[in-house]
């Protein structure tokens, strides 16, 4: 019998990529119902129509449902893929710009901006997971792509949900490093370790052999390496995630943000262009421009995970999952982002080496922040929210954090009913 | 039989206070030999002569030794109290001023300045401890007051020394809070927790009853409370150590440091005045001015600890000691600063509550830095030193840390032979 | 025959003070028609009703007109007093907060915030002056209190209007210094010099004798002196205007603004309270709370100026007027803020000493900015606006100014029709 | 009869370039005595020996004198070229690094660093000029290349000396723009205007026609244009001097300086390499590496000026000279940097257009600073020095300037006898 996949935030411009990803795995993942769930009727119509053209082009025989009704979408779903964005690009714009006035980095997944996004997102995703638990098929999986993914997955698993968190950082690096070594990407395995958006590659295994030494000899040698100066990579002996730019170069980032338009503003323009393209009734493939939107290989990761969960393949993928002893010097119940074996029972993290001190300290610091941010998001408690901000390694400063929190709560008021009630 | 106490850095202007502290505990601590060890002959003569007058004034019958020879000082010593300062106030001046040019806080015990001090201090103190182990009396105790105390104690215990680390933050707060509640200080006990200079008081027990609620009702009500705005104390629900100013108000501190002379410059002036006073042959008591030098109750803490170790009193004092399970969510081998029962076998930490997330994250982050700083200090490895700096919660920024390290190593070259050898 | 006085922005909470000021000068200034002009009907009603009660209480026999019609207000007016605020306190809030994100001070009369206010204000005030020229009584005077007063007055006089600009800085300092010397305020004369909000007192003449030496001996000795450290005042040998805080302490101001709510937010609260008070039908006097609103002695200055213009008194008042050789090292056509003799023909500046270099450079720099800001405001030319921002001594930085201008134009769009047209 | 040229600071690594420049103009400038004056015997020997080899290679018949005696060097000199550096590269290092700790840009010719250099340099150059006036040939010319050139020239002319100031910015731009238009450099004339290191090219005349419009169409089109973003050049409608980077991008410069070694450190290394090269007895030409030292076309400018002064050519060169009405909106006695006709009586500035507001304000501000800096340098008055710093457009902030001045005076004590006397 076929599989029902529901996509929360299905009106996203990312959706065509996801559709393509699911289609190419039809052998292992026989989807017979695909639901795009979105509260925005205009986007749903445009994106849905393109999805429909793409599916028809390849002769898919399943059923495509476009809906704004949660119950309809979740009823009997085997997989719920979450890519929603509470508050849309407008909320992202404030995440990225408001912190700057208080001397902090503005970014949508880390620091104060990521915190605001967490406050908006955690309650919504938890509700969705609860409804999935009630209405979904027995053993339904909840796959979260919405940022901050690690934090959201921590919240989901702490509440007992059957959930896995996904990110495209590892898969993108794998592809780029495969290019560097001129091999097929499935011959490259990474010793990827840390928390979502706070990770390092400690080993680059090509055909079973660690080639990190080659990287360190010429750190500028792989596509994307220009995020960091070679001396930094050589000093660390690892490849940091691009998001570590915010931790290793905060002052440079601040100066850049002070003098450039926000990424949200850019994305808004790209999205307008994409939707314009999607409207073209002759388009029945994923358009090229989508690559500029960011999120490369996102659907690749999502479709691969869903396929392996369904088929019980037992292959290894990088996911957000309970540590459960895999990293020896982190607690069992921390959600970490590491390689895990995927079967029908979920993701089973592979044992790995302890974190070096220079990774451990910042990871523990960030995890403590995540715990407080989840508590703040679920309770709407302003004091806990302030504790979370000062516990965030990219914030800390109380003098700026206190007035910043006022502004963040004020501007996000429509999306933070729990705070409205308590404030 | 009498006790031999040796003071490394005995030419310090602090010494008169220490002498007074030892004298007032003569009942439990029958010192019959006091050695002041110092490489600076002028200071040793001035300070030693004052100590001699103080001791004679009260009719002490023991032997006072002034020496610059380590073997003489350590031979048969029962207690070695370490208050030395490698590089003196001049090195402190550079610790406090050089980081500012790279956008970092300059402070002699935390951040980049404390790191430079750690590089200078750890090897010297370890050597002293090794020689104490060889020459000291059986079961000799090594008491470290030299900053960064927590980090130095971690190095000492990791090398297997019989050492305890001391700080005056807890004892000062205890005295100030006793004043606040108008009771004798021994009726006040603190739930003091964290790492040295990164601590919080979670409870203020007066006659067995926790009075924190009274503090939180009016956080400005105790002497010294003006370090922090009342809302911060109320939000935390604890009293932070004054050193947390560097963590909670980094930007304000930077602005202050940018526009004010360094503390080292002030201390240099105070010290010149003190030595001038000490020279007065009619002075045979601790002079008033000494209080401005900072380090209030320092000797109180040191003398109390030494007396209890000797007499096996079993009373509780706040010291730097292995965690050994006392704080449930920190590793056993972390050196922490908490209340411990003191007997002849040393300091036995009292079990206490886990750290709240907003404390835990920053404590773990700082501990990871400490581990790397110790490794850098003992190996002279420049790469590890740079890892330590970027692991320090008050530094982080690689773009500034790399050139800062160059400058710190350059200016401290005379005090860093291990780096000279390797660089 | 009596005098008609019209107040543009008559619904301001300041109005009761102005009414009181006019009433107490009835001998020299026989007002028989007072018009409050305001587009906001609610404010006009509340403030107008209070003005009416105040006037009736003292038995005034003239005519009070409340209107939102400019023609009615200006027709036959002898004096038009301008205290309007384009965009209200909401626009002020953005003036004060947006610059901070780009690393600049946010203040409503100087720097980038003052620039935004100038863009909004200059065209509106020029239109009002043109209509006054057409409809007002022959020889009607236009008195500007709206900030940035110096810049607005420069625009008015460059267009050939019969206008004088007013500010309360000099009169407030005169009052405070009179207190300091314990004399009646009319025995104190100031050598006040510079541009509006960029001024210094070079002499404090009490009964004909310069007492500056007494001030410099103890710079903390007059009320309000705490704006500046005594060493600064002593170094300068003059008393700087409080607004020079933005020039002499930019970094401290930035840090303060980053960590505190804006002044606009405070004023909004005070205004709400004032309007609540004004509603009280039993209130028929200026309420005490008005003093917190700022603008102390504002109406004092305005009423005194209008009275002297009408009566041709020939007394000396500090106003914004063409330099006309009064300050030897500034051009004749620069609007400066200095003492001037007031008669029926207007304000005649008193000759004074050249500016010292440390004043001259910054004054010339600020004046060049003012010229560009006026040109930008009247033409709506974005390039000129950007030139003005980089010419502003508190901005300068092109990297921040360019994106800042985008944001300022965007948020002020409803108030900047000339830019909307051209952009 | 032949000409005697003396070079103060003749041991500079620049000297070979100067020697070459003089040699190639032998027709108009028949030098028969060249004196290299320098207090450093080692440099004098190395550089002097190379100069000797260069001169002998071309068969020069004059006399080369190497000396550390001022009287010998100046006696009968027709031209004294000043390229000395008080305190050497070590002092430059502190000029570039100390301001950073107080939040200011560190640069050796502008801002706080240029101020420290001015304090060191002005008294030494004035003394040299006085001795030249006493000992030199009748009508001897004093040509200053030592930075800050404009300020030093202002000091020289205010003291009545027969002096001209030189800089290589204009001549370098002329060369680069000639390249851009693919013509010989003498077909390009610039409308270069402002103060030294604070200049703009308002017109680029190629064969008598202004080609600025071509530049603005593609501002990235000339070598060196990458100093500024094209939009900035287009907005200004002029080409700013590279030194304007400090004014238009202060925050970016600060961030760069915080994270990079100083230029002084780089130059020290280059100089060591150059001197090593110069030692080579087979070298008898200017080595290639000298170009990296900066100061391109420096000797070109110096030799051309000296030749034209001697031959009375009447050609136009860009020099530092009294304004004397040339720029209508600047005072006559301001030293400005503009094109001037050179004859035996000196430099006669060409009349030019007034400065646009966006240039005028910053130029006037900088000139006021220069006046105070000269007064501070010649009097050793600390109060004036502090006034100069707060009058400097790149400093301003009193809170940082006051402690910065303490540090600058302290570290430059050996070179500031006038301050030592008064402090």
Give per-residue pLDDT as tens, D86-99.
Answer: 999 999 999 999 99
pLDDT tens-digit map of B233-275: 999 999 999 999 999 999 999 999 999 999 999 999 999 999 9
CA atoms within 13 A on the CB side of C222: 26
Q: Does C358 touch chain D (CB under 8 A)?
A: yes
State how far the Cα of D310 lies from the Cα of D26, in Å rounded to an integer: 11
Give phi and psi for A189, each to the nearest 5. -120, 145
Residue of A nearest to B371 (CA): A357
The three-state secondary structure class of A108 is coil
For helices D357-379 and C357-379, the axis angle rounded to 10 degrees is 170
State how far the Cα of B369 lies from the Cα of B367, in Å rounded to an integer: 5
User: Is the separation of the CB atoms in C286 and C16 below 8 Å?
Assistant: yes
Instruction: Tell which residue, A404, A402, A391, A246, has the closest CA to residue B244.
Output: A391
State how far the Cα of A322 lies from the Cα of A338, in Å rounded to an integer: 10
Residues of chain A positioned with their CB less than 8 A from the CB of C93: none
Q: Which of D222, D243, D278, D298 is catalytic?
A: D243
Q: Does D364 touch chain C (CB under 8 A)?
A: yes
Query: CB neighbours (10 Å) of residue A260?
Result: 13
Mean pLDDT confidence for B297-318? 93
Q: Which residues, 6+ apart, have CB-to-CB distance to D423 below 8 Å? A: D380, D382, D409
Categorise residue A76: left if φ over 0, alpha if ψ from -120 to 50, beta otherwise: left
Contact check, Cβ <8 Å, C364/D369:
no
**pLDDT value of residue A288:** 79
Place of tokens 């108008």: B182
- Is the predicted pLDDT of residue C142 greater than 90, yes or no? yes
**pLDDT value of residue B370:** 98
pLDDT tens-digit map of D381-415: 999 999 999 999 999 999 999 999 999 999 999 99
pLDDT tens-digit map of C356-400: 999 999 999 999 999 999 999 999 999 999 999 999 999 999 999
**pLDDT value of residue D288:** 79
Cα-Cα-Cα-Cα dihedral sign, residues A44, A50, A54, A55: positive
In chain B, pLDDT over 70 holds for what percent of residues? 98
User: What's the CA angle centered on D289, arms D286 and D291, to 5 degrees?
Assistant: 80
Running DSSP on this structure, what letter comes out for residue A290? G
**pLDDT value of residue D422:** 42
Q: Find the range with the poorest average confidence among A276-280, B22-26, C275-279, C321-325.
A: B22-26
**pLDDT value of residue D293:** 73
Quote the mean pLDDT of chain A: 94
State how far the Cα of A242 lies from the Cα of D78, in Å rounded to an integer: 64
Listed by number, the residues of chain B in 308-337 with a beta carbon closer than 8 Å to a beta carbon of chain A are none
Contact check, Cβ <8 Å, C399/A102:
no
Instruction: Tell which residue, C270, C320, C315, C275, has the closest CA to residue C295.
Output: C270
Confidence of residue A290 (pLDDT cuts 50, 70, 90): confident
Q: Which residues, 6+ apart, have CB-to-CB distance to C242 below 8 Å? A: C169, C224, C227
Confidence of residue D1 (pLDDT cuts 50, 70, 90): low
- What DSSP string runs through B358-404? HHHHHHHHHHHHHHHHHHHHHH--HHHHHHHHHHSTTT--HHHHHHH
- Is the predicted pLDDT of residue B25 greater than 50, yes or no? yes
- Is the predicted pLDDT of residue A295 greater than 90, yes or no? no
Interface A:C, Cβ pairs < 8 A: 38
Give phi and psi for C271, each to the nearest 5. -60, -40
Cα-based distances in Å from C15 to C40, C52, C285, C302? 14, 11, 12, 11
Interface B:D, Cβ pairs < 8 A: 38
Instruction: Tell which residue, C232, B217, B404, has the closest CA to residue D389.
Output: C232
In chain A, pLDDT over 90 holds for what percent of residues? 88
Q: β-strand C79-82 against C3-8: which pairing, if any?
A: parallel
Residue of C nearest to D398 (CA): C248
Cα-based distances in Å from C113 to C138, C270, C394? 36, 21, 10
Q: Where are the domains of chain B?
A: 1-423
Q: Which residues, 6+ apart, have CB-to-CB distance to C291 below 8 Å? A: none
Confidence of residue B1 (pLDDT cuts 50, 70, 90): low
Among A251, A360, A366, beta carbon nearest to B399: A251
User: Is the separation of the CB atoms in A48 and A10 below 8 Å?
Assistant: yes
- What DSSP string runs through C354-406? PPPHHHHHHHHHHHHHHHHHHHHHHH--HHHHHHHHHHSTTT--HHHHHHHHH
State how far the Cα of A320 lies from the Cα of A330, in Å rounded to an integer: 14
Number of H-type helices and E-type strands within chain A: 17, 13
User: Is the separation of the CB atoms in D415 and D380 below 8 Å?
Assistant: no
pLDDT tens-digit map of C330-361: 999 999 999 999 999 999 999 999 999 999 99
Outline where B182-281 has alpha helix (H): 212-217, 230-236, 245-248, 250-258, 263-278
pLDDT tens-digit map of D54-64: 999 999 999 99
Contact check, Cβ <8 Å, D258/B100:
no
State how far the Cα of B119 lies from the Cα of B403, in Å rounded to an integer: 17
Among D103, D232, D357, beta carbon nearest to C368: D357
- Is the predicted pLDDT of residue A297 greater than 90, yes or no? no
Distance from CA of C296 to the nearest CA of A (A): 29
State how far the Cα of B199 lies from the Cα of B192, in Å rounded to an integer: 7
Quote the mean pLDDT of chain C: 94
The two structure tokens encoding residue B311: 């007499």
State how far the Cα of A271 lies from the Cα of A277, in Å rounded to an integer: 10
pLDDT tens-digit map of D352-375: 999 999 999 999 999 999 999 999
Q: Does A256 touch chain C (CB under 8 A)?
A: no
Mean pLDDT confidence for A206-213? 97
pLDDT tens-digit map of C13-58: 999 999 988 988 988 999 999 999 999 999 999 999 999 999 999 9
**pLDDT value of residue C286:** 85
Confidence of residue A423 (pLDDT cuts 50, 70, 90): very low
Q: Does A90 touch chain C (CB under 8 A)?
A: no
Residues of chain C positioned with their CB less than 8 A from the CB of A260: 403
Q: β-strand B63-67 against B31-37: which pairing, if any?
A: parallel
Running DSSP on this structure, what letter comes out for residue A353? P
Give phi and psi for B139, each to the nearest 5. 75, 20
State how far the Cα of D2 lies from the Cα of A304, in Å rounded to an integer: 88
Mean pLDDT confidence for B175-186? 94
pLDDT tens-digit map of C215-244: 999 988 777 767 899 999 999 999 999 999
Q: Does B231 touch chain C (CB under 8 A)?
A: no
**pLDDT value of residue A221:** 79
- What ipTM, to 2 d.p.? 0.95
**pLDDT value of residue C423:** 38
The two structure tokens encoding residue D405: 């001045």
Among A235, A250, A362, beta carbon nearest to B386: A235
- Is the predicted pLDDT of residue B394 greater than 70, yes or no? yes
Contact check, Cβ <8 Å, D251/A255:
yes
Distance from CA of B139 to the nearest CA of C (A): 54
**pLDDT value of residue B225:** 67
Q: Does D390 touch chain B (CB under 8 A)?
A: no
Mean pLDDT confidence for B291-305? 82
Q: Does C42 touch chain B (CB under 8 A)?
A: no
Residues of chain A positioned with their CB less than 8 A from the CB of C400: 258-259
Note the Cα A365 to chain centre separation in Å.
20
Mean pLDDT confidence for B111-128? 98
Q: C1-423: what fold?
A: LDH C-terminal domain-like (3.90.1820)
**pLDDT value of residue B423:** 38
Q: Does A252 touch chain D (CB under 8 A)?
A: yes
Q: Does C252 touch chain B (CB under 8 A)?
A: yes
Listed by number, the residues of chain D in 399-418 with a beta carbon closer than 8 Å to a beta carbon of chain C are 399-400, 402
Q: Find the range with the poorest average confidence among C367-371, D145-149, D259-263.
A: D259-263
Mutation target for B interface from A251, A368, A406: give the one with most B CBs within 10 A: A368
User: Is the separation of the CB atoms in D120 and D155 below 8 Å?
Assistant: no
Q: Is it true that the peptide bond before C124 is cis, omega within 30 degrees of 0?
A: no
Burial of B308 per CB tally in 10 Å (0-12, 13-18, 19+):
buried
- What DSSP string runs through A173-221? HHHHHHHHTTS-GGGEEEEEEEETTEEEEEEEEETTEE-HHHHHHSGGG
Q: Does C61 touch chain B (CB under 8 A)?
A: no
Confidence of residue D225 (pLDDT cuts 50, 70, 90): low
Among B259, B403, B406, beta carbon nearest to D403: B259
In chain B, pLDDT over 90 holds for what percent of residues? 89
Running DSSP on this structure, what letter comes out for residue D82? E
Confidence of residue B220 (pLDDT cuts 50, 70, 90): confident
Mean pLDDT confidence for A177-185? 95
pLDDT tens-digit map of A73-87: 999 999 999 999 999
Q: Find the range with the poorest average confidence among A303-312, B214-223, C228-237.
A: B214-223
CA atoms within 13 A on the CB side of B365: 31
Among C247, C358, C399, beta carbon nearest to D249: C399
- Is the predicted pLDDT of residue A168 greater than 70, yes or no? yes
Question: Which amino acids of C are annotated catalytic?
Answer: 243
User: What's the CA angle centered on A41, arms A36 and A46, to 5 degrees?
Assistant: 70
- Is the predicted pLDDT of residue D169 greater than 80, yes or no? yes
Mean pLDDT confidence for D180-203? 97
**pLDDT value of residue C229:** 94
Running DSSP on this structure, what letter comes out for residue D106? B
- Is the predicted pLDDT of residue C422 greater than 50, yes or no? no
Note the Cα A344 to chain centre separation in Å.
22
**pLDDT value of residue A285:** 87
């Amino acid at each position: 019998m076929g599989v029902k996949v529901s996509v929360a935030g299905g009106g996203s411009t990312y959706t065509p990529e996801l559709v393509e990803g699911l289609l190419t795995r039809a052998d292992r993942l026989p989807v017979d119902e695909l639901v795009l769930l979105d509260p925005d009727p205009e986007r749903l119509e445009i994106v849905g129509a393109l999805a429909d053209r793409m599916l028809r082009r390849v002769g898919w025989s399943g059923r495509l449902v476009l809906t704004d009704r949660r119950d309809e979408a979740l009823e009997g779903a085997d997989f719920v893929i979450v890519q929603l964005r509470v508050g849309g690009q407008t909320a992202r714009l404030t995440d990225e710009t408001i912190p700057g006035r208080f001397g902090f980095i503005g970014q949508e997944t880390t620091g104060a901006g990521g915190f605001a996004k967490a406050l908006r997102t955690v309650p919504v995703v938890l509700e969705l997971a609860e409804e999935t638990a009630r209405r979904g098929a027995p053993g339904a999986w909840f796959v979260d792509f919405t940022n901050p993914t690690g934090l959201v997955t921590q919240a989901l698993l702490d509440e007992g949900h059957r959930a896995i968190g996904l990110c495209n950082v590892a898969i993108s690096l794998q592809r780029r490093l495969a290019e560097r070594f001129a091999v097929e990407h499935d011959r490259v395995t990474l010793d990827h370790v840390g928390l979502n958006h706070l990770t390092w590659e400690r080993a680059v295994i090509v055909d079973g052999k660690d080639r990190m030494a080659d990287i360190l000899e010429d750190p500028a040698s792989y596509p994307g390496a220009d995020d960091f100066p070679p001396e930094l990579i050589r000093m660390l002996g690892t490849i940091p995630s691009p998001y570590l730019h915010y931790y290793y170069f905060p002052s440079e980032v601040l100066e850049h943000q002070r003098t450039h338009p926000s990424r949200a503003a850019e994305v808004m323009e790209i999205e307008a262009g994409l939707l314009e393209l999607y409207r073209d009734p002759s388009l029945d493939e994923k358009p090229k421009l989508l690559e500029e939107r960011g999120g490369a290989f996102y659907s690749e990761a999502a479709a691969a995970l869903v396929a392996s969960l369904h088929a019980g393949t037992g292959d290894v993928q990088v996911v957000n999952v309970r540590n459960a002893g895999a990293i020896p010097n982190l607690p069992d119940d921390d959600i970490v982002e590491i390689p895990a074996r995927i079967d029908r029972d979920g993701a089973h993290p592979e044992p790995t080496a302890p974190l070096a001190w220079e990774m451990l300290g910042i990871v523990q610091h960030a995890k403590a922040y995540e715990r407080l941010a989840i508590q703040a998001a679920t309770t709407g408690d302003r004091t806990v929210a302030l504790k979370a901000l000062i516990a965030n390694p990219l914030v800390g400063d109380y003098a700026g954090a206190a007035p910043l929190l006022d502004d963040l709560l004020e501007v996000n008021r429509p999306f933070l009913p729990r705070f409205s009630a308590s404030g």
